[in-house]
Structure 1
C-alpha cells in the first residue's frame, strides 16, 4: 500500500514538474511575443515620426518657395543636400532639384534610426498660364463677331458675373471658366534692355534679330493712320510703360517670322489694333483691349497666342483669337511662381 502511495506521489511530482516546464515555456513565448510586439510598436512609432518629419520639412520649404517671390531657388538647387536639421529626437535632410518646369523637393526624416522619405513636386506657373488663350484676373468682355479658340478663364468668382459676351461671339459666358485660381506673377523686366525714352506716336519700325528686349518708357499713342511695324526674325520682348493706345486706322504690323510678347509694366491700359498678331500680351495689372477692325468674314485667324491680363476686352469684325501651342514662350520674363502639383 505504501509503495502504491509513493508511486502516486512520484507521478504527481513529475506531472507538476512537466506542468511548470510547459507554463515556463509558454510564459517565455508570451514574453517574447510581447517584446516583439513592443519593438514593432516602437518601430512603427518611429517610422511615423520620421515620415511626418520628412513631410513637414518638405511642406515648410514648399510653402516658403510659393509665398516668397525672392526665394533663391537656383541657390537651393545648386547647394544639393542640406545638413541635417535636428528636431527633438529626429532630424530632416532636404534636397531641391529642378526638372523641366517642375521643382522637386525631396525630404528624408530620421527618428531613432528609422528613416522615411517624402517628396513634393511644385509646378512652375508659367506652364499653367499658357494653357489658356485668354486668362484674366477680373472681367472678360467678348463683343461683336469675335471667336476665341481655346480655353478662356478668369480668377473672378462666378457670383460677380465677370464675363459678358455678345450673341455672335464664341464662347458664351456660361462656357468661360470662373474661379480659376491661377497665379499670375509680376513682370520681371531684365536689367539690360534697349530703352526708347519718347512716346511712340508716328510710324515706327523695330527690327528683331533673335531675342530682342526693348522698353518703351513713355508707351505708345499711335495717331490716325500710323503704323508700328516689327520686322526680322525671332522674339521681341516689348515692355510698355504708360500704356498703349491706337487711334482710328492705326495698327501694329508684325512679320510672320517674329513672335511678339508685350508686357505692361504698370497699370496703364493697353489698346492694340492689329490685323494679324503672333505672340502674347502679358498685363497682370492692366486692362487689355485687342481690336481688329478688318477681320476676315471667312473666319481668318487674326491673333495667334495668349492674352493674360487684369481685365480683357475683345472686339472686332469677324476676328478670331487662337491659342498657339507652337509659340516660343519659354523665355517669358515673369517672376517664377510655383504651386503644388502632387505629393509622393
Structure 2
C-alpha cells in the first residue's frame, strides 16, 4: 500500500469511527453514505421514523467539515421554499435574493414523497448540475453538494411516489432498519447519560476529521483506483441482465452502470485497496439497482420481490476471475 493510499484510508477510518460514536448499529449505512459523498452522488434513505436518518446526515456533515441543511417536505411546500426567491426591498428600491435551504453542502430532504411532483422537481437541477436558477439567474451550489432524501416505507397515505426518472438520480436506496437488540440496549444506556447521540453531537464529542479541501482531494484520488476491463464488462452485463429478465418491466439504465463503477472505486478506497473486485460490485448491487427496477404486475401479484430477482441475476451473470 502506497503512502497516499494509506493516508486516505486513515482519514476514512477516522471518519467512520467518529460517526459511529453517535450513529449506533448502522455500519453498512454509514459506509454507503460515505460512498455517496465520495462519488458526488445522492442517496435515498428509506426507513421508519426514529432510526437516525436525520442524525446520520448531521453527523456526516460535522465529521467531514461541511454544512448541512434540512427541508421538511409537506403537501403545501412550494419550489421557491427550496431554492429561494427575490424579494423587493422598499428601503433600497431593488430586489434582494433570499437564498433557500438548498444552498448548503449536505441537504436532508425529509419525507420527500410528501410534496407534489412540482416541488420534488425543484431539486432535479440542483442534483444533476449543482446549480439553481432563480428568476433566470443561475447560481452555483457547493461543489460537495449532496442530497439525502428520506422516505417512510410503512406509510403511503397522502404521499406522492417518486417518478422513475427521479429515483434514477439517486445513486443508492439505503435501507435503514431497526437496530439489533444489543445496539438498542447500548442506545438506551446512552440516552440516560451524557452520551446521548444528540447531546454528544452538540457537546463536541464527535470530532471533525476532514476539511472541504481534503474531501475534494479524497474524491480525486479515486481516479487512481484500477477497474479492470473484465470487471467493467461484468458490471455492464449485470445491468443489462435487468433489462432482459422476463419478470422485469423496466430495467436499470446507464446511470446504474456508472453508479456501480464509481461506487466500487469508493468501496475499494474505504477498504484500503487500489483496485475494485467483483465482490465490491456484488455488495453494491442491491442498493444501486433495487430502486431502478420495476417488476411486471403479474409477477408482483405472485409475491416476487426485486431483491429476489437481483439475487437470481447475481447467480446467473458470470463473475470474472
TM range (shorter): under 0.3
Normalized against structure 1, the TM-score is what?
0.23
TM (norm. structure 2) is 0.24
**Which one has the bigger strand percentage?**
1
RCO (CA 8 Å, sep 6+): is it higher in 1 or 2? 2
